Chains A and B, each alone.
Chain A
C-alpha cells in the first residue's frame, strides 16, 4: 500500500469507528440532532423553492414577456449562488488548510515518516476538501433540488449537479491550499508591523469592493430588471469556474451534451491542474514554511500582546478572585490562539459588509410593509451572528478546561462558580459586539423608535439565552479529550447547540415578526390591541430566554458535579 492510500485507509477506519461510536451517545441527543438536521434540510428546500418561484413570478411580472425573463433571472441567480459558494469555499479552505497542514498534531507524526511532502499534501488535501465542503453538500442539495423543481428540470439536471460537485469543490480547495502554502512561507519572515499593514490593506480593499458591488441605485419598477441583470452580469464571465459549472449543469439538463462535456472537462482539468500545482508547490516550499512557523520569533508578538492583555488585567481589577484570574486566563488563551483569531476576524468582516450594505437598504424602502420586514430581518441577522459567536467560541470553553481539571478541580472553587464565570464572560463579551451592532444597524436603517427598542431588547435578551445554551450544553456534553476548539464544536454536542440556538432564534424572531406584520396588514383594530400583543410577545421571548438560560445551565452543572476526571 502506498502512504497516501494507507492514510486514506486509516481515515476511512476512523470514520467507521466514529460513526459506530454514535451508539454510545445519548439517544435523546442523537434524536434531537437528526430531527433538527432533517427538519432544517426540508425547511431550506421549501425556502429555496419559494424564493426561486418568487423570482420566476417577479421576473415575469416586471419583464412583461412571460416566463422568459423569469427564467433568465433564475439562471443569473444560480450563477450568483455558485460564485458566492466558490468564494466562500476558497476562504474556508485557506483557514482549514492552515490548521490541517500546519497546526494539527498529526502533522508531526506524518512528517517523521518516509513520505514525500507531495504525498503528505495530497493526503491532507482530501481532509481539507472534506472539512470545508460538507456544509456545501448539506445546504447545496436542497438548493439544487429546489431549483430543479421550480424549473421542471429533467433528471439529467440532478445527475449533472452531482457530477460537477467534485471538481467544483476541488478547485477552490486547491486555490485555498496554494494561498495558505504561500502565506505560511512568507508571513513568518515578515515583521509584525508589515503583517498588520498588509492585513489592514487587504481588509480595506475587500471592504471597498463589496461596498461598491452591493450599493444599488434607487430602484423603481421600471429600472429594477435592468439593474438586477447589470448587477449579476459579472457572474457571467467565461473565465469564472462558477460560470463553467452553471453552464455545464444547465446544458446537461437540457440535453446539450457537447456543452455539458466541454464545461465539465474545462472545470475538471482546471481543478486537476490547480491541485497538481499545489502538490508540487507543497513539495518545494511546505517544509520551509512549516519549519519557519515552528521556529518563528515570538518575542515581538509577545511584547505587542502584553500591552493589550495588561490593559484587560487592569480593567478587571474590581472583579473578585477567583473570577478575575479565570476571566483573564480565558482572555489570554483566546488572544494567543491564532486559529481562534482568524475565525474571529471573519466575523468582523461579515459584520462590516452587513453594516456597509444597510445604508442603502433603509433609503430604498419607503413602504411600511418593507420597513417592518427589514426590522425583523435585522433582528434575525444580529441574533444569527450572535448564535455563530456563541456556538463557535463559547460552547468549547468548559471542554477546554478538561485537561486542566487537575488544577481547577483541586482549587477551592465550586464547579457552579466555574460555569457561571463562563456564562458571564460570554454575556459580557458577546454583548459588546452584538448590542453595538443592533444599535448601529438600528440607526442606519432609521428604524422607528418602537422597532429600534424591540431590536435592542431582543439582542440583549438573546445574549443571555444563547450564552446559557452554549455554556450549559458545553457543560452537559463536554469533550475533555480534545484541545482543538474547532473539533469540539464540530462534535455532536456542538451541532446540537447550534441547532437549538437556531430554533430559539426562530421562536424569538418569529414571534416578533407575527405581531409586526399583523400591524402592517391592519389586523389590529386599535393601538391597544397592538400594544397588548407586543407585551405578550415580550413576555414570551423573555420566558423562553430564561428557560434557554437556566435549563441547560442547571443540567450542565449537575452533569459536571457527577463527572469523573
Chain B
C-alpha cells in the first residue's frame, strides 16, 4: 500500500532523507520513529506529495505520488501535527468543503460527515466558528475530516498534541480498528509507549537514514540491554549521535 524506493531528499548538499526503502502492506500500523530533525516530517511530506523527492519514488495505493498525484492523494488521508484549518468557517462547513475537494456527494457529507463529527465528539460545536475551538477540538476536526473520504492510507504526524487521555485512547483505538478494515496507517510519533502498544512494525530513522526496521519484539531484540521501547530507542539512536 505504501512503497518507497531509494526515496531521497536533499536540501542543498545535505540529505534530509537518504535512500529510504519501505514496503508497508494494507492493514499495517506502521510507526515511524526518530529524534528531532531525523527526517520524519520530510518523509511524510514526500509521501503526501508536498515535497518533490531529489531521487527515488513513493507509491501510494498503487499510484506514484509524482506521476499520478491526484489519484494517489485520493487514497491518502493526512493529519499534520499542527493542522491548517479555516478559522472563519464552522466545523460543519469545513467538512462540507473537504467533501468538495474530494468530489464527494452532498448526501455523503450529510451521513458520513455527521457520523464522524459525532464520533469525534464535536458535533455539538459543528455550527461554531473554528476560531472558537480549543486546540483539542481542532485536532479532532482534523481527524474527522481526514476520514471523510474513507482513505486507504492514513498518514499521521504526531497526532497526540492537544488531545486529552480519553481522546488519545479513542484515536488510538479508532486507528487500530481502521487497520483491521484494511487501512494502512503510517504514524510519526515521539510517544514511544503508544508506538509500542499499537505498532505492527516500527521504523527508526536517524540523520535521514533508516537505521532499523521490524516488529516491536524484533526492535527490542536489537538492543544490548533489555528494557522498554524508550530505552531501546535511546540506545539505538545514541550511538550515531555521538
Contact = CB atoms under 8 A, between A and B. Distances in A.
A17 B100 contact: no
Contacts of A206: none
A116 B74 CA distance: 11
Contacts of B87: 481
A337 interface: no
B73 A297 contact: no
A113 B73 contact: yes
Question: Interface residues of A toward B: which range?
Answer: 35 or more
A106 interface: yes
Interface stretch (A1-9, A221-229, A410-418): A1-9
Given A14-B88, A17-B89, A9 B97 contact: yes
Nearest to A3: B101
Nearest to A106: B84
A112 B97 contact: no
B218 interface: no
A292 B10 CA distance: 11
B12 A5 contact: no
B213 interface: no
B78 interface: yes
B129 interface: yes
A9 B129 CA distance: 16
A215 B127 CA distance: 61
A110 B101 CA distance: 9
B49 A111 contact: yes
A287 B76 CA distance: 19
Interface residues of B, number: 40
B108 to A, nearest CB: 11
B51 A2 contact: no
B52 A3 contact: no
Given A13-B93, A112-B48, A299-B12, A18 B88 contact: yes
Given A116-B70, A295-B11, A295-B51, A6 B101 contact: yes
Contacts of A9: 96-97, 100
Given A291-B52, A297-B11, A114 B89 contact: no
A406 interface: no
Contact of B89 (A10, A295, A481): A10
A110 B50 CA distance: 10
A211 to B, nearest CB: 40
A2 B88 contact: no
A89 to B, nearest CB: 27
A288 interface: yes
A105 interface: yes
A109 interface: yes
B67 to A, nearest CB: 12
A116 B70 CA distance: 6
Given A10-B86, A18-B88, A112 B100 contact: no
A115 B98 CA distance: 11
A296 B88 CA distance: 33
B13 A297 contact: yes
Contacts of A294: 50-51
A504 B237 CA distance: 62
Contacts of B131: 481
Nearest to B53: A291
B84 A108 contact: yes
A481 B80 CA distance: 19
B70 A2 contact: no
Which residue among A5, A111, A295 has the maximum number of chain B CB atoms within 10 Å of its CB? A295
A299 B99 CA distance: 41
A7 B84 contact: no
Given A1-B100, A7-B97, A288-B52, A112 B78 contact: yes
Contacts of B178: none
Interface in A104-146: 105-106, 108-116
Contacts of B49: 111-112
Contact of A6 (B10, B13, B71, B100): B100
Contacts of A288: 52
Given A10-B94, A110-B101, 12 more contacts: A1-B103, A5-B100, A6-B99, A6-B101, A109-B84, A112-B73, A112-B76, A113-B102, A116-B70, A291-B51, A295-B52, A481-B131
Interface of A: 1-3, 5-7, 9-10, 13-14, 17-18, 21, 105-106, 108-116, 287-288, 291-292, 294-299, 481
Give the top 7 A-B pairs by smallest Cβ distance, nearest first.
Answer: A6-B100, A297-B12, A291-B52, A114-B73, A1-B100, A114-B74, A10-B97
Interface of B: 9-13, 48-52, 54, 69-74, 76, 78, 80, 83-84, 86-90, 93-94, 96-103, 106, 129, 131
10 contacts: A3-B100, A13-B89, A14-B89, A18-B88, A113-B98, A115-B73, A116-B70, A292-B52, A294-B51, A481-B131
